[in-house]
Amino acid sequence: MELINYLEQLLVWIVAHLDGPIWNLTIVILLGVGLFFTITTGFVQLRLFPVSIQEMWFGRAAEGSSLTPFQAFATGLASRVGVGNIGGVATAIALGGEGAVFWMWITAFIGMSSAFAESTLAQLFKIQDKDGTYRGGPAYYMVQGLKSRSMAVAFAVALIFTFGFAFNSVQSNSIVEATRNAWDWQGEYVGIVLVILTAAIIFGGIKRIAVISSSLVPMMALFYLIMAVIILGMNIELVPTVISNIIKSAFTFDAAAGGFFGAMVSKAMMMGIKRGLFSNEAGMGSAPNAAAAAHVKHPVSQGLVQMLGVFVDTMMVCTCTAIVILLSNNYGGEELKSISLTQNALQYHVGEFGLHFLAFILLLFAYSSIIGNYAYAESNVRFIKNKPWFVLLFRLTVLFFVYFGAVRSGNVVWNFADTVMAVMAILNLVAIVLLSPIVWKLLKDYQLQLKAGKIPEFKIENYPELKKRVFEQDTWK
């Protein structure tokens, strides 16, 4: 326990000294890069939005792929509906007010172009393993596209801390909060059980748990969305007023931090951008790891599907959660934050059932996210050093942070996640800007084929300058 207390003090000190300056820089880069790609791609998120729906709905899997674009999109959406959409939105409202939702929308709209760019690049620079599967992501396009292994390693380290340690602390903390509210479960015991269940997965012992959770999570996500839509339908006459209040509150200034820049940013803006990024991950560099695993005929196809995913995640799912909360009887006090705020809102609308229902689905969402976060992080651990002792050390550290999140306060784990997430995002955003000429070239190739009435198909031999930079030159044959 002394080690946990010492770590908490260390994290509080780090966050106190680094979080403000890092997020001041992150806001500038995140919005700046989003605007950069929005303008240079000719507002791709608006122009090709109908095409992204067609790619998702009518697209066909490339030869050898087991998933259609729609199946991949549905799987991705199910994985997104979780703590970010439920607890993250609530935290944004509790700390930043109603206006934080508006800045989540802005972050998502601008971030759609960044998501398009990063996933398109991940598709181009993916590599194929001997078993026929694909892998890739920012670390890969940093090495191949930018010829910078040092930058790739720095990004991999940031991702390991973000997904392996910080985000898993957030997930376990959210499970504890939800189950304490509903069933009065103690954090220490919940933490021990989570460590055991997580260890069973990451050490390859009980595979059935992963299979069950992967089956239940999409179903629970659907139930949650149906419940949210029903609540909105029951209060449809109040929804326009709620949306109007969100927009008005977005421009009510309340400084987020000290210093010249911090004093220029409102709490609503800061919390909206932080929680927006946590939820939709646009530009963060996490989604490209999954995007690279898909097998499509053109890199831009996957970029468009990923772009649509950001829209659905924030503009639809997060908005549903926000309006459900803002239609409730209590959302402005310091006593209710994160999951507690959303549970209170559901209890207000549908009674005790809402309290228990959210605790149950959060248990599934957060646990499945711990497994997914671990998978993201382990692939980057192996990218740095694929040695058994190194992977073992990483796994033990993951288990420690799962327990740490269960027994520490929400403020500590959320602030820790915010800080490391910002570092990871900065590295990825810089990389995709440096590789932007390739994004434009791929987009032009896609649009020319589309204009000619063809089904866009990428041929690497038409671009010898790109062929030299791709490890597996037969990937796009």
Kindly state whether residue 96 falls inside one of the protein's structural domains.
Answer: yes
**Mean pLDDT computed over 202-209:** 62
Kindly state whether residue 476 falls inside one of the protein's structural domains.
Answer: no
Tell me: the pLDDT tens digits for 228-240? Answer: 999 999 999 999 9
Tell me: the pLDDT tens digits for 406-458? Answer: 998 888 898 899 899 999 999 999 999 999 999 999 999 999 999 999 989 99
Of 118 and 74, which is predicted with more confidence? 118
Q: 96 pLDDT band (50/70/90 cuts)?
A: confident
DSSP codes joined into one string, 430-441? HHHHHTHHHHHH
Q: Residue 262's domain spans which residues?
A: 1-468
Q: Which two tokens stand for residue 360?
A: 């149950």
Question: What percent of the chain has a predicted confidence (pLDDT) above 90?
Answer: 48
Structural domains counted in the chain: 1
The rounded distance, in Å, linking the Cα atoms of 405 and 410 is 8
* CA of residue 267 relative to chain centroid, distance: 21
Query: At residue 369, does pLDDT exceed 50?
Result: yes
Specify whether the backbone of 466 is left (phi greater than 0), alpha (psi in -120 to 50) or beta: alpha
The rounded mean pLDDT for the chain is: 85
Kindly state whether residue 473 falls inside one of the protein's structural domains.
Answer: no
Tell me: the pLDDT tens digits for 35-93? Answer: 999 999 999 999 999 999 988 877 665 555 445 566 656 655 655 667 788 888 988 88
Kindly state whether residue 477 falls inside one of the protein's structural domains.
Answer: no
Kindly state whether residue 177 falls inside one of the protein's structural domains.
Answer: yes
Kindly state whether residue 474 falls inside one of the protein's structural domains.
Answer: no
Kindly state whether residue 475 falls inside one of the protein's structural domains.
Answer: no
Tell me: the pLDDT tens digits for 150-170? Answer: 999 999 999 999 999 999 999
Of 470 and 340, which is predicted with more confidence? 340
CATH number at residue 116: 1.20.1740.10
The rounded distance, in Å, linking the Cα atoms of 205 and 196 is 11
Tell me: the pLDDT tens digits for 251-310? Answer: 876 655 555 455 456 778 888 888 888 788 888 998 888 788 777 889 999 999 989 989
Query: At residue 15, does pLDDT exceed 80?
Result: no
Kindly state whether residue 159 falls inside one of the protein's structural domains.
Answer: yes
Per-residue model confidence (pLDDT) at position 66: 44
Please tell me the pTM assigned to this model: 0.88
Per the CB < 8 A criterion, the answer to whether 134 and 286 are in contact is no
Of 62 and 226, which is predicted with more confidence? 226
Instruction: Name the 3-class secondary structure at 70.
Output: helix
Per-residue model confidence (pLDDT) at position 203: 84
Tell me which amino acid residue 91 is.
Answer: T
Q: 225 pLDDT band (50/70/90 cuts)?
A: confident
